Structure 1
Amino acid sequence: PSSLTEIISYVSQTLDAFVRARDLLSLFSEILLTDLLPLCSQLLVSSNVDEFSLCALCILNELLTELKLTDCVLPSHIQRDIKQELHQTFLSIICDRHILREEPIALLSLRFIQTIWTLIDHTSTPFSIQSQSNLISNLFTLIMQNKDKSTGTFVQGIASCLTTLSEQREIIQTMIEQGLVSIQLQLIQDQLASSSTDRSVMNILLELLSLLDRDLTYVLDVVKRALQVKKTGAGDSDLPSIAEKLLQVHKPLVTLVGPMINLLPNEDPSIAKIALHNLSLLTQLIGSEGKAILSKNHIHILSSMLRTSDTTKQKLLLRAIKRLISGDKRSLDVARSNTNSELTQTLQQLKKSAASEADAGLISHIDDLLHLLL
C-alpha cells in the first residue's frame, strides 16, 4: 500500500507540474476533461489522504488561474466545458467534504470556491438552493471556529470568500436566513476590540465592512421596492412584509453606528470610505432606535470630518447626523452641548462656504440640522 501511495503521489505531482506548463496545456488540452478532472474528482471523493486532497486542489486552482487569464492557452470550448465541470461537479464536493478540513486544505478550498464563483455565469448555471445553504452554513461554521485567529490570511480568506459570494442576491438572502447579522456583528466587534496593529487585522476588518455594505445595500433595495409597492399598489404584495422582517432582523446592527463614526478618520482610506457608506446605510435603515448613540467624541469626529471632507461626503454626514439626533433626545443634547458648540460652529462655517459657492443643496442640509440644534 505504501508503494501504491507513493506512485499516486508522484503521478499527482507530475500532473500538477503539467497543469503549470502552459505549452503542454495548449497541446494536450483535451485530456484535461477526459483524464485529469476525473482523476481529481476521484482523489477528492474517495481519498482521505491529505496529500492527495492537497494535490487535487492545487491542480484545480492552477487550472482556474489559467482560466482567469485574458490570454488563456486553452481553446474556448475547452474553457467553457472545464468551467462547467468545475462548477457542477467539484464545487459541491469541495463545499461538502473539504471546506471544514484543516489548513491548508480549507484555504485551498476557499480559493477554489471564490475563483470559480467569479468565473461562472450564474444565470445559466445556477447553484441549487440546498447547495447554497450548505455552502453558507459551512463558511459560517468555519469563520466562527477560527475567529480568534485575528492575524494571518485564513480568516481574511473566509471573509473575502463570503464577500465575493454576496454579490448574488440569492446568496445574501441565504446568509441572512442563516444568521449573517449576528455573525458579522460579533466579528466586526471582535476586530474593533483587537489591540493589534497588524495589517492583516485591518484587511479582515475591511472584508467584514465590505460584507456589511453588501448586506445593508441589499436591505435598502428591498425597502425601497417595498415602499414603491405601497405607494403604487403594483408589484409583489409580499415585499412590504419581507422588508419589515429584514429591518427587524437588522436592528441589532444599531450598535455599529458609533464604531462606524470612530472609523471615519481611519488612516486607511479604504476603511474610512466604507465606514462612511455603512454609517449612511445604517442611519437610513435603522436610525438610532431610540438609543443614546452619540458621545462627545463622536460629535468631535463628525465636526472634524465635516470640515475636511468634500461636498459629497459632507452631505452624507449631514444626513446621518440629522437622523441620529432627530431620533434620540439624548444624542441631540450631546450635539447641542458639545464643547464650545463645535458642531454648530462647524455648520455655520460650512454654510458660509456653501453660500459663496451657491450650493443650494448643501445649504438646505445644513439649515435642516441647524434648525434642530438651535
Structure 2
Amino acid sequence: PPQFARATPLLWVSAPGAALKSFPGRYRSATLCPVPSERGCGSPALKATTYWKEHQENILGNTMQSVIALLNNLVACKDSNMKLLYEQGLVRHVCDLFTETATLCLDVDNKNKNKMAAALHFSLLDILHGMLTYTSSVVRLAVQAQKSGSGGDTQAAEDLLLLSKPLTDLISLLIPLLPNEDPEIFEVSSKCLSILVQLYGGENPDSLSPENAENFANLLTSKEDPKEQKLLLKILRRMVTSNKKHLESLKDSGSLLQALEWLAPAGGSSADSVVASLALEILQAAGH
C-alpha cells in the first residue's frame, strides 16, 4: 500500500498487492509481509530473524529508521491482522528495539546519541501504545461480553494477553522515561505504563526498583496537574496491590512514602480530593 512506501524509502516495494520484503545488505535476513502476496507470503506476517549484535551499532541508521517507520504503519493500519503479527514475532521485535533505543535515551554520557535516539524512541512509544491499546480493547470487549452474558471470544483475549506478555519487560524502562523534559514523552509513556499495569498488574519484578521508586517520588511532588498525579497514583496503586514484592519496595522507600504523605489529606498539600484519597489508600496498603 502507498502508506508503507512513503514511510519506508529503503525498503523495496513490489507491485500492488505484493509484499514488502528484503532489507538491504546484512538486514536481508528479515522479511516483513503485511499483505498477501504472490511472491510467497500468503498472509499478513512479520518474520524477523534479526542479528541484534550487528544492529546495535546501527540502531540509529537509516535502515532501522525505515524498519521502525514500517512497524508504525503496520500497527496503525486498521486492516492489519494484529494477532497474526503478534504470532509472527512483532512483540519481541518491538521489545528489542524499544530496549535498545531506551538505553540510548537514558545514557547521560552520550548526549549526541541521546538526541538522535529520542525521535526514534518516540516512534517506538507510539507503536507500543498502539499495540497495548489494541490488546486492551480486545480484553475489555471480552470482559464486557462475559458480564452481559452474551458470550464473546474469551479465548482470543486470553491468547492475545499471553502473546503480549513480553511487553511487561518494558515497564522498568518506561518508568525512567517519565521524568523526560518532553511532555509528550511523559504523556505516551504514562499511558503505556497505565495499560500495562491494568492488564498485568505487578508482573514485572523490577518495576519498583529503588531507582524507579525515587522516580515516582520526584514525579509526584513535581507534577502540578492533578490529572497527571492521579494517573501516576493509579499506576502505583495497581503495582503495589497486585504484587507483594512491590509493596515491600514501597515500604522501604522513604522518599516515596514521604511524597505520598505530602499528597495525602494529613499533609494538607493536595487541593484535589481524588489525589489525596489515592495517596492515602496507597499509604494504608503500606501500613502507614
Q: TM-score, normalised by structure 2?
A: 0.78
Residues 329 and 303 from structure 1, CA distance in 2 versus in 1: closer, same or farther, beyond 3 angstroms?
Answer: same
> What residue ranges of structure 1 are gaps of 5+ in the alignment?
1-56, 62-86, 104-109, 118-126
**Cα distance change of structure 1 residues 216 and 249 upon mapping to structure 2, 3 Å threshold:** same
Question: Which residue of the partner structure matches residue 140 of structure 2?
Answer: 224
Residue in structure 2 matched with residue 159 of structure 1 by the alignment = 68
Rounded to whole Å, the distance in 1 between the matches of 2:119 and 2:66 is 10
- The share of aligned pairs that are identical, in percent, is 27
Equivalent residue, structure 2, for 1:322: 237
The answer for the alignment partner of 2:273 in structure 1 is 360
Residue 175 (structure 1) aligned to one of 68, 85, 89:
85
- Could you tell me which residue of structure 2 aligns to residue 202 of structure 1? 118
Rounded to whole Å, the distance in 2 between the matches of 1:270 and 1:91 is: 36
Spell out the pairing of 1:101-120 with structure 2 (5 A cutoff): 101-102=24-25
- Which of residues 85, 90, 105 is equivalent to 2:15? 90
Q: Does the residue aligned with 1:137 lie in a helix, a strand or coil?
A: strand
- Kindly indicate whether structure 1 or structure 2 has the higher relative contact order, using CA contacts under 8 Å at least 6 residues apart: 2
State the secondary structure of the residue aligned to 1:90: coil
Change (3 A) 1:152 1:101: closer
- Equivalent residue in structure 2 for 1:147, among 55, 63, 67: 55
Gaps of 5+ in 2: 7-12, 27-31
Task: Tell me, yes or no, if the aligned pair for 1:293 and 1:331 is still in contact at 8 Å.
Answer: yes
- Contact kept? 2:95, 2:167, Cα under 8 Å: yes
Partner of 2:170: 256
CA distance 1:133–1:259, shift in 2 (3 Å): farther
The alpha-carbon deviation at position 186 of structure 1 amounts to: 1.5
Measured after TM superposition, the shift of residue 90 of structure 1 is: 2.9
Q: Distance in 2 between matches of 1:129 and 1:246?
A: 25
- Cα displacement (A) at 1:286: 1.1
* Bigger Rg over Cα: 1
Taking the aligned partners of 1:208 and 1:290, their CA distance within structure 2 comes to 20
Task: Determine the C-alpha separation between the residues in 1 that align with 2:150 and 2:54.
Answer: 46
Could you say what secondary structure the match of 2:207 adopts? coil
| Equivalent position of 2:10 in the other structure | none
- Aligned residue pairs total 265
Rounded to whole Å, the distance in 2 between the matches of 1:224 and 1:150 is: 35
The residue number in structure 2 matching 1:347 is 260
**What is aligned with 1:298?**
212
1:136 positional shift: 4.3
Contact persistence 1:296–1:334 (CA under 8 A): yes
Q: For residues 279 and 128 of structure 2, what CA distance do their matches in structure 1 show? A: 28
Question: What is the RMSD computed on CA atoms of the aligned residues?
Answer: 3.5
> SS of the residue aligned with 2:15?
helix
TM-score by length of 1: 0.61
Structure with higher helix content? 1
User: Is the contact between residue 241 and residue 247 of structure 2 (CA under 8 Å) also seen in structure 1?
Assistant: yes
Match of 1:312 among 211, 214, 227: 227
